[in-house]
Structure 1
């Protein structure tokens, strides 16, 4: 009972792996560096592919598109208010873009997916944009959907949405394999 191996409160109860409820400052520093490293890799790949196309020109067809009609905010953003959307990086991205009517009408049926649109003023399909710029579709999709480390709020860098948690947020370090998985997007308003 007494001696070198006496039981203590923290040692005798609960899980074997104790995970603190918040991240330490060195963990946050390493997380920011990981996010920046991924952003750097995406930009290096993008510039290398563009440089390769510049040296070896490929004939591509360019599609002309008309500017998209504007829609009301209730159609574009669902039930979240603009004040709620402006709190997260994904919400700010949603506020700055509008939904393309043609694309929205195509996706209402149960048929196969006909393509993703690149957000911005010249509305193009991702495959057309990638072909024109000489990059690949996955890189264009990453740049269109994922915020960079500078665009993210600290809340989104270190916590993630969890519908079972009390404040709908939990530390990103509680996600399994959190150092290898990109967790940048959270639902608008959370």
Structure 2
């Protein structure tokens, strides 16, 4: 199409991922609740008497109440300013564990 309404990169594009730059209080509460649910599942499996390598690794992870807020809501990123970025910027951040981060960052 020609004229004032012709297709251009600006008109076709736009903000593709509308991700807020920080977590809202509701989303932070959901993160804490999700971490507590994972802790309860790990504790239930441990109490059932099952022995496996993945359970041993899970028991080494810090619990939700032991984690500082910095580790709950941000993850290490070598490319970000300050080497941290919001956990919600990580793809599939609800499916993988982010409880361990490099020390000092």
TM-score of the two chains, using structure 2 as the length reference: 0.83
Aligned to 2:63: 148
Aligned to 2:95: 180
Per the TM alignment, residue 13 of structure 1 is displaced from its structure 2 partner at its CA by: 6.7
Aligned to 2:47: 47
1:32 & 1:18 partners in 2: Cα distance? 23
- Equivalences, count: 95
Per the TM alignment, residue 140 of structure 1 is displaced from its structure 2 partner at its CA by: 1.3
Asked which structure has the greater CA Rg, the reply is 1
Q: Residue 170 of structure 1 aligns to a residue in which SS?
A: strand
Higher RCO (C-alpha 8 Å, min separation 6): 1
Aligned to 2:20: 20
Which structure 1 segments of 5+ residues have no match? Answer: 1-10, 50-133
In the alignment, structure 1 residue 157 sits paired with structure 2 residue 75: no
Per the TM alignment, residue 163 of structure 1 is displaced from its structure 2 partner at its CA by: 0.5
1:12 & 1:160 partners in 2: Cα distance? 33
1:16 & 1:148 partners in 2: Cα distance? 35
- Superposition RMSD in Å: 1.8
TM-score of the two chains, using structure 1 as the length reference: 0.47
Runs of 4+ more than 2 Å apart:
11-15
Distance 1:26 1:39, change over 3 A: same
